[in-house]
Amino acid sequence: MTNIQVLGHGCENCKRLEANAREAVAKAGIEAQITKVTDDPGIMAFGILSTPGLVIDGKVASYGRVPSADEIARWLKA
């Protein structure tokens, strides 16, 4: 089971990233749990400098941009 975290305070981009992540999970055909991290210390613990951030199994996959569902699916399968 893959653990996906979406880091951000809930702005437009964060919502889009979460939607893309859900689509990517469906595309990749894997089991994953998607959670959101919205508090500052929680977000900062990952050391990102701009939101939204995407964390896959504890590793920061991207931050400061909204990767497309296809792109995330590629990472999930990697």
Relative to beta strand 2-7, strand 59-63 is unpaired
* Closer residue to other proteins in complex, CB, 25/48: 48
Q: Which of 7, 14, 43, 72 is catalytic?
A: 14
16 touches 69 (CB < 8 A): no
Among 8, 21, 28, 69, binds other proteins (CB under 8 A): 8
Rounded to 5°, the CA angle 55-9-4 comes to 20
Q: Does 71 bind other proteins (CB under 8 A)?
A: yes
Cβ-based neighbours of 14, under 8 Å, separated by 6 or more:
6, 7, 8, 36, 51, 52
Among 6, 48, 69, 73, binds other proteins (CB under 8 A): 48
Contacting residues toward other proteins, per CB under 8 A: 8-9, 11-14, 40-41, 43-51, 53, 56, 59-68, 71, 75, 78
